[in-house]
Amino acid sequence: EHQTGEEICAFFNNQLVIKMNREAELNGLFEESIQNHDFQIYLQPKIRLENQMLGGAEALVRWIHPERGMIYPSDFIPLFESNGKICTLDIYMFEEVCKLVQRWFKEKKQVIPISVNLSRLHMKNPDFLEEFVAIKEKYQIPDGIIEFEMLESVFFDTQQIILVKKVIQDMHKHGFLCSLDDFGFGYSSLALLNEFDVDTIKLDRQFFADTMNEKSWKIISSLVRLADSLNISVVAEGIETKEQLTCLREIKCGMVQGYIYSKPLSIDVFENWSVNFGK
Ligand code: C2E
Ligand code: CA
Ligand code: CA
Ligand code: CA
């Protein structure tokens, strides 16, 4: 059926209105959801390949709204990045992680390193780390347990090189580790390793997504060796198949995170999962 220009315009206007209404609605729910703890930590395990042990976990946000159900990051992170709410959310998530780690210590449970995602937006405030340091101290979190994951793209902005270097130094000074997330997609990723003193790189899921051929394994294998020689840990992300796992073992990749072991899990489920893992 033929549509007139006007009808097409009306359609897109409608779509736009729907999108704007939805965004306005999510924005309106934000404050109350923070207060009601509707944002929750989900944990996805990272497995150390050499001994098949739990080596850590990544904290990923889930918005579990009493009326709207589970809302995934892709539905709200871009929105909250566009209006700055992401910084509040990141700090909230970090504090929840600190509470969890403190509880693990109190209950004499196994304490594993946890990584927390940081939006690029924090970089706009050169003193942003102070708030994180204060929270870390409030919950008496020892050094070396919390790692911040920052997207590779944060490091590309040449305007920010000095600032980012300083941030990484400060992170180390205060006992945090620093991880380069979604590594390998920028065109000068390797230069970043020379420029910035990061502790970990996370090889993006896309690396392993294409039908893997010999050439791409050679690239991954040399990245792993390069990182190793620089004393940088490697996490392969988004691993789903046994074949991928076999290859990663062969090239001695440090850690693996992906559905092959587990999806991100609520805290309760994660605690049960980790007790049973390897039994
Ligand atoms: P990310 O940091 O790259 O996190 C990994 C994403 O890949 C997660 O999606 C995870 O559930 C998914 N994933 C893990 N293993 C597999 C796998 O084997 N196969 C597939 N297909 N996917 C896998 P999620 O939880 O939906 O998060 C999406 C993105 O949202 C994250 O990507 C991160 O950039 C952002 N994000 C999540 N939580 C936070 C947060 O608290 N703060 C900030 N600033 N960003 C967050
Ligand atoms: Ca991440
Ligand atoms: Ca990632
Ligand atoms: Ca990603």
CA triple 269-99-262, angle to 5 deg: 25
117 CA to middle of ligand 2, Å?
5
Q: What is the pLDDT of residues 34-49, one digit of tens each?
A: 999 999 999 999 999 9
Residue 1 has pLDDT above 80, yes or no: no
Residue 159 pLDDT? 75
Residue 19 pLDDT? 86
CA of 259, closest atom in ligand 1: 18
226 vs 200: CA distance, rounded Å: 12
6 CA to middle of ligand 4, Å?
38
Q: Report the pLDDT averaged over residues 64-88.
A: 95
The torsion angle over the Cα atoms of residues 49, 52, 57 and 61, rounded to 10 degrees, is: 90
182 CA to middle of ligand 4, Å?
6
Q: What is the pLDDT of residues 227-268, one digit of tens each?
A: 999 999 999 999 999 999 999 999 999 999 999 999 999 999
203 vs 277: CA distance, rounded Å: 24
Residue 210 pLDDT? 65
Could you tell me which residue, 146 or 195, shows the higher pLDDT?
146
Residue 154 pLDDT? 82
CA 195 from chain centre, in angstroms, equals 22
In this structure, the residue with its CA closest to atom 20 of ligand 1 is: 238
Quote the crossing angle between the two packed helices 5-35 and 73-83, to the nearest 10°. 90
In this structure, the residue with its CA closest to atom 8 of ligand 1 is: 60
Q: Is the CB of 117 under 6 A from ligand 1?
A: yes
User: Quick one: CA dihedral 98, 99, 104, 108, positive or negative?
Assistant: positive
Strands 69-71 vs 146-151: parallel, antiparallel or unpaired = unpaired
The answer to whether the pTM exceeds 0.80 is: yes
Share of the chain above pLDDT 70, in %: 97
Q: What is the pLDDT of residues 45-73, one digit of tens each?
A: 999 999 999 999 999 999 999 999 999 99
Q: Is the CB of 100 under 6 A from ligand 1?
A: no
Could you tell me which residue, 154 or 32, shows the higher pLDDT?
32
Residue 213 has pLDDT above 90, yes or no: no
Q: Is the CB of 264 under 6 A from ligand 1?
A: yes
Q: Is the CB of 152 under 6 A from ligand 1?
A: no
CA of 86, closest atom in ligand 1: 44
Question: Which of 250, 224, 255 shows the shortest CA–CA distance to 239?
Answer: 255
Q: Is the CB of 11 under 6 A from ligand 1?
A: no
Q: Report the pLDDT averaged over residues 148-166.
A: 85
10 vs 77: CA distance, rounded Å: 28
Rg (CA), the chain: 20
Block residue for tokens 């549509």: 3
Confidence band (pLDDT; 50, 70, 90) for 18? Answer: confident
Q: Report the pLDDT averaged over residues 89-105.
A: 98
In this structure, the residue with its CA closest to atom 13 of ligand 1 is: 238
Best of 30, 70, 76, 77 to mutate for ligand 1, by most ligand atoms within 8 A of CB? 77
170 vs 168: CA distance, rounded Å: 5
How many angstroms separate the Cα of 256 from the Cα of each of 111, 253, 268?
19, 8, 22
Best of 117, 203, 265 to mutate for ligand 1, by most ligand atoms within 8 A of CB? 117
